[in-house]
């Protein structure tokens, strides 16, 4: 019997910092508006650094040679903007002009941890866990930390829904994002319990101040929201100043806007170089595109905002070959031969064709009865080609029924209708 597609999220999502994997979310207009409205209300409630903290941060950068520019004034400075803090042009900036260069000595990455006082207790930890502990320890040191000017401008919480209250989370009931959020928080909590038992509590000399789960979740959220693409996993890094740049949906260029390069022809010092993808007038904010490939769920989970672009609207359909299937072994062999496994995740994008392997996999899972002859070894090398077309009327009716029932099941999880949601006062944004 074909199993009902389960509305789950991949386990690898729980490790997105070290193992990025697409997240997915089916957002109705109602859910989209709720996420946007909640995000906007939280921006006002989030702690914005003081003007003195921003001045101290800029002075710190100047002392370290980052804010000193051969041109006067420097291309950008950190200023208060609607998003919180951002990079504002101090003069007209041409397209592709370098606006920020940060030397490696100011990056916070695994090498930073390895050179710190906690290096001896961080061996074997996941990079993000080690950096999270470093952030928390330096934060607890206060004025004694050389990183204080940077830490003082970091928000107490991001707009990510991992920081939402239960009441706020109830506004996205029925979405896959909600179950993903809960799963991510469970994952972070499990990591915290392990590192608390193995590292924090046995080393009070290094961690004299209590570290709570909420502290650890804060560090996770900071890393998730501020790390640049490709600077994750083993290469995870925070880049002060550069990480203040905000996102704009109007920028659709897929060209890389940053690079890591050597400072000069005869220097081995690495620098992070950030460019503007468009011309920017003096006084305007410099923006980039965070990631065109991210779904709205990824944007919401990482940064706390979503976009109205149809290709951001994604729903993950989870299918599996159950062990109770009498043809389990044959079906699994065929699936694995074609690059899929016992469980498969298919992202259905609004307004786009279905994933090319989705229907063949559905037909494979539903295969049985008079159609089971296709599972014989003689057809093993050609069966996938047969599955790209309808196998039989019964097989097609089965997969249509299963997908329809799965959609009904997903919709039933919402606690309001679209009409009721549109009338909800929180939607006034």
Active site residues: 290
The residues facing 80 across adjacent strands are 85
Tokens at 54, concatenated: 């921003």
Contact 34, 416 (CB under 8 A): no
- The whole-angstrom separation of Cα 100 and Cα 67 is 8
The DSSP symbol for 9 reads -
CA distance 76 to 90: 5
Closest CA to 234 of 14, 13, 20, 11: 20
Number of H helices, E strands in the chain: 14, 9
Q: What's the number of CA atoms in the CB half-sphere (13 Å) around residue 78?
A: 29
Look up residue 2 and give its DSSP letter: P
Instruction: Give which of 34, 299, 21, 304 is closest to 174, Cα–Cα.
Output: 34
Distances (CA, A) of 263 to 61, 215, 235, 242: 17, 36, 19, 16
What is the DSSP pairing of strand 246-247 with strand 287-288?
A: parallel
Contact 282, 95 (CB under 8 A): no
SS3 123: coil
Contacts 24+ apart (CB under 8 A), 204-212: 206/117, 206/118, 206/121, 206/137, 207/133, 207/136, 207/137, 207/140, 208/140, 209/140, 211/136, 211/140
Cα 303 to the chain's mean position, in Å?
Answer: 8
Round to whole Å and give the CA distance between 128 and 17: 7
Burial of residue 334 (CB within 10 Å: 0-12, 13-18, 19+) is buried
């Amino acid at each position: 019997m074909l199993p009902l597609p389960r509305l789950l999220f991949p386990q690898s999502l729980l490790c997105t910092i070290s193992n990025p994997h697409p997240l997915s979310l089916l957002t109705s207009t109602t859910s989209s508006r709720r996420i946007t409205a909640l995000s906007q209300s939280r921006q006002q409630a989030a702690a914005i650094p003081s003007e003195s903290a921003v001045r101290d941060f800029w002075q710190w950068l100047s002392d370290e040679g980052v804010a000193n520019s051969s041109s006067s004034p420097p291309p950008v400075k950190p200023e208060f903007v609607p998003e919180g803090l951002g990079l504002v042009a101090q003069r007209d900036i041409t397209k592709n002009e370098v606006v920020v260069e940060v030397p490696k000595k100011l990056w916070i990455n695994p090498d930073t941890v390895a050179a710190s006082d906690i290096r001896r207790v961080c061996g074997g930890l996941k990079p993000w866990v080690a950096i999270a502990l470093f952030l928390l320890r330096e934060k607890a040191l206060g004025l004694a930390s050389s990183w204080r000017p940077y830490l003082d401008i970091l928000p107490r919480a991001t707009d990510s829904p991992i920081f939402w209250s239960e009441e706020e989370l109830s506004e996205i009931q029925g979405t896959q994002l909600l179950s993903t959020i809960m799963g991510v928080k469970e994952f972070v909590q499990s990591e915290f319990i392990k590192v608390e038992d193995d590292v924090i509590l046995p080393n009070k000399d290094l961690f004299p101040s209590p570290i709570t789960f909420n502290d650890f979740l804060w560090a996770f959220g900071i890393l998730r929201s501020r790390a640049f693409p490709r600077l994750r996993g083993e290469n995870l890094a925070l880049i002060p100043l550069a990480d203040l740049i905000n996102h704009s949906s109007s920028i659709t260029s897929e060209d890389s806007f940053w690079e890591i390069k050597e400072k000069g022809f005869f220097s081995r010092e690495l620098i992070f170089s950030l460019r503007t993808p468009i011309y920017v007038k003096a006084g305007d904010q410099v923006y980039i595109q965070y990631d065109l490939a991210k779904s709205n769920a990824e944007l919401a989970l990482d940064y706390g905002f979503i976009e109205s672009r149809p290709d951001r609207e994604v729903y993950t359909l989870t299918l599996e070959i159950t062990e109770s299937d009498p043809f389990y072994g044959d079906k699994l062999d065929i699936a694995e031969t074609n690059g899929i496994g016992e469980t498969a995740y298919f992202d259905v994008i609004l307004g786009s064709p279905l994933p090319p392997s989705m229907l063949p996999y559905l037909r494979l899972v539903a295969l049985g009865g008079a159609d089971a002859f296709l599972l014989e070894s003689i057809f093993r090398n050609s069966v996938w080609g047969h599955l790209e077309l309808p196998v039989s009327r019964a097989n097609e009716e089965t997969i249509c029924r299963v997908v329809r029932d799965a959609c009904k099941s997903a919709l039933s999880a919402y606690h309001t209708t679209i009409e009721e949601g549109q009338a909800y006062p929180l939607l006034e944004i």
